[in-house]
Chains A and B, each alone.
Chain A
Amino acid sequence: MQKEFKGRPVIAGDIKGEAVVSRQGVNTLATFQKSALKKKKEVICSDQNNSDIYNKLLTGKILCLPKTIGSTTGGMVLHTVSALGIAPAAMLFSESIDSLAAAGVILADVWTDSTIVAVDRLGDEFLNYVQDGMQITVAADGTVTVE
């Protein structure tokens, strides 16, 4: 069964991919730091405090989350993993995007050749519905289809 949600595109794009879901705020630095430090070709989440996504592959996935939390280096970290080509393909926020995540996806969009598609304000129902491994289609107008 497929279900449709409507959000606001922050960085618009048409994309399809597999969901990885965090029900809690994603600490950007803690999540991406280890893979970036070790110059890995893929990001495996290294935040032990986030059992939802710890040890899961994030590169190329569609990361579904309420918002990001943690250090104000967060935006730079997202920009960095995007520049390195190991970022999630998209970030779908149930809440309004926070200033650190917004900075990250915008820096990636303007200053790198790759893009992290970002849609926010998808609502609690979206985050309650979506599960790891579900197929997600994101349209440039912020429509998100989960199946």
Chain B
Amino acid sequence: MNYKMKLTPEEEAILNGSQGPAMAKVIKTLVLYGDAFGAERFVPVTAKGHLVTSFGISILKPVFSIMDELIDGGLKAQQPFTVDPRPIDYDNVKCNPLEKLIFNKILYGMQAPYEVQLKKLGLKSSKSFTCTCYMDEVGNVPEKGDVLSWAESSAVVYANSVLGARCNRNSGIIELFGGILGKVPEFDLLTDEGRKAKWIIEVKTSKRPEAQVLGSAIGLKVMEDVPYIKGLDNFLGTELTDSVKSYLKDMGAATASNGAVGLYHVENLTPEAVESGAALINDDAKVYVIDDAELDRVKNNYPIIWKDKNAQPERCFIGCPHLSYSQLCEWTERFETELKKQSKTKVGLRTIMTSAPEVIEHFKKDNKEAYDKLMGFGVKLTSICPLMYMNNPLCGKKPVITNSNKLRTYTTSRYFTDDEITEIAVKGGF
């Protein structure tokens, strides 16, 4: 095999089969991947892994074959990993008999055996199914400077930007291979140069922008480049509180799904921007000004792809990425206020909020009053991935509304702001 990366004698031996044929194929894949991006060497992975593939979807049979090959070769991730959310939860996200049949037999018929494979390869625990593995409750929080092997786009952008860890925007399976080898090729966002901003974003809005629309506008403009955001600290302050981190989580997910952003800096707020300031900005960086009119333009351009554009919504998803503890508390208050305003006691629309299993446990245990209120409002709380739930021909036909720009991008769901969706969910329609 011809390659350009400089391998250590140990890595070269692995490539030549010293740790078995499966491991040789793992490192060969990573060497070719590194070569494609000009990586010169491998660097050690220094924190737990996180896998994007959480669903035993039958079309991915060839992926399951790779997993079998790894297991048969005695391979396992060097550190335990968390994984994206499960696709279904019949208790909290109702499905009709036909949907259940399709889910169980056709779409996610491989879920149980796939979870067995995940355990064998190093899954942290049976609760470790969330896209927000970086929540304190979940216990997969990298530190500044940690090198990661992750792929989930919303988690990668959060880890890079808010935590100051270093991770490329990898594909699924590649991230598992990095976890097994315990090393990843060093390029792009793993290097100082790759973390410099090619765009300056000037936020000049009259009030705090909706996180999901601001992230969408940035992603659509800069695509995969690194933006340096100025002016947002006027609204968020200079401290990474739980509430601010939740805002950045949602904004980042939108930058990553509406574009392909893997890292952003927020002036005076995110760790590298606080540390290095304008030195992070490339000399030839382009400028994008975002004001109220620009946010309106972006939001008004979202297409409505419901089959019947005049349909009433049947379902509302809140929490893609999964909600944090502080967001669960905030949403309970938001619904309480709106219910009082509309003189109602329960939401009028089937409303589903999603959060990590351990975050829901925290909410139940430490804010039981709010949890009981939320349940009393008729809101369902689950840990599924709404995207996986929606991304099939049956559910894709349903008129679903969401406050998530990621869910809007990858499914037929319609986007509404937090305030709009609260009003619609309580009212039961438009």
On A, residues with C-beta under 8 Å from B are: 10, 29, 33-34, 36-37, 39, 48, 69-76, 79-80, 82-84, 97-100, 102-104, 106-107, 109-112
What residues of chain B lie closer than 8 Å to A33, measured between beta carbons? 59, 391
B33-63 vs A, CB cutoff 8 Å, 1 = contact: the mask equals: 1001100000000000000110000011111
Top-5 shortest CB links A-B: A75-B171, A103-B171, A83-B62, A36-B59, A102-B36
What residues of chain A lie closer than 8 Å to B277, measured between beta carbons? none
- Between-chain CB contacts (< 8 Å), 15 pairs: A10-B36, A37-B59, A72-B151, A80-B60, A83-B62, A98-B224, A99-B33, A99-B170, A102-B37, A103-B170, A103-B171, A104-B171, A107-B174, A111-B25, A111-B69
User: How many A-B residue pairs lie within 8 Å, measured between CB atoms?
Assistant: 97
**Which residues B193-223 have CB closer than 8 A to chain A?**
none
A135 to chain B, nearest CB (A): 27
Most chain B beta carbons < 10 A, residue from A34, A72, A104? A72
On B, residues with C-beta under 8 Å from A are: 25, 28-29, 32-33, 36-37, 52-53, 59-63, 65-66, 69, 107, 151-153, 156, 168-174, 188, 224, 260, 305, 391-393, 410
The answer for the CA separation of A74 and B168 in the assembled complex, in Å, is 15
The answer for the CA separation of A73 and B392 in the assembled complex, in Å, is 15
Task: Please tell me if the beta carbons of B29 and A106 are within 8 angstroms of each other in the complex.
Answer: yes
- Contact pick for B32, options A48, A76, A80, A109, CB 8 Å: A109
The answer for the CA separation of A73 and B393 in the assembled complex, in Å, is 18
The answer for the CA separation of A84 and B260 in the assembled complex, in Å, is 28
- Contact pick for B153, options A71, A75, A104, CB 8 Å: A71
A116 to chain B, nearest CB (A): 13
The answer for the CA separation of A94 and B71 in the assembled complex, in Å, is 38
Task: Please tell me if the beta carbons of A110 and B28 are within 8 angstroms of each other in the complex.
Answer: yes
Task: Please tell me if the beta carbons of B52 and A73 are within 8 angstroms of each other in the complex.
Answer: yes
Give 14 new A-B contacts, CB below 8 A, not counting A71-B153, A99-B171, A107-B171: A72-B153, A73-B53, A73-B171, A75-B172, A75-B173, A75-B174, A76-B171, A79-B173, A80-B61, A98-B224, A103-B33, A103-B173, A110-B25, A112-B62
